[in-house]
Amino acid sequence: MPNGGPGPGTTVPADGLFGPDSISWRVHADPSTVLGGLRALLLQALHPLAMAGVAQHSAFREDPWGRLHRTASFIGAVTYGTGPEAQEAIDRVRRVHVRVRGTDPVTGLPYRADDPELLLWVHCSEVGSFLGTARRAGLALTDAEADTYLREQAAVARLVGVPATVPVPATRAELDRYTARVRPRLLVTPAAREAVRFAFLPPLHGLALTVTPAWAGLAGLAFALLPGWARRMYGLPGWSLTDRAATLEARALRTAALRLPRSWREGPHLVAARERHGV
């Protein structure tokens, strides 16, 4: 099993993509990934073609929790799973992407989920959110380790379909330059606003009265952790936490979560990986 991660363009090794000494293990095992995942969804929704694909082909309205669970399961399998587990998760995503295509009603542009541009946007929004949120919440990573994380995760982008001809950001500087290039194409569409409403107030059924305020607070913090330009695009009133206040809240939430038993905050793929490696 590799201690770190594979280089971009490699296939899935029999022992899996990442080992216990990889930065991907550290970042994805951190309690801040819940906030990072919500932040990623809010950021991804700003790409009109990516959001059109979700709106027209995803069951997020009827089953938002199922979609979140499937996303978390994919990340868990790819990060901590054996080679066959990671490959199965990747193949499943690629099969779904082949079927997702259509036309964005806002821009009139065609889209397909396996378009390298959209794959790269989703990837960069995700890894940038996980990394940035974890560091702001207090996970101690050097700049070199942060770049290592992006380099490790570039291999995942290749495996889900980003071709070798399309550069995948492998450092923080490259990620910043990529985001600056994409920003002019971003747009808050009606579908994006609907997705934000679901992020803040998903259907909670019988738990609504007790869970809704806590979940809305979590979503509000994830929104506050977005870059300022993204918050201004959404223009949501009432979520005016300063960057410093959002960082302090994220650190407080992470500190509280770390006091919980490990069995409460670690997913099944990580638990199985720890047992496999004796760590």
- With tokens 């201004």, the residue in question is 232
CB atoms within 10 A of CB 72: 16
Mean pLDDT of 171-194: 97
Question: What whole-number distance in Å separates Cα of residue 93 and Cα of residue 148?
Answer: 25
Distance (Å, rounded) from C-alpha 214 to C-alpha 212? 6
pLDDT at residue 213 in the model:
72
- What is the pLDDT averaged over residues 187-216? 77
Torsion of CA 140, 145, 146, 147, to 10 degrees: 170
Q: What is the pTM of this model?
A: 0.91
Residue 141 confidence (pLDDT) above 50: yes
How many helices and strands, by DSSP H and E, does the chain display? Answer: 14, 2
List, for residues 233-275, the tens digit of each pLDDT value: 998 755 557 889 999 999 999 999 999 998 888 999 999 999 9
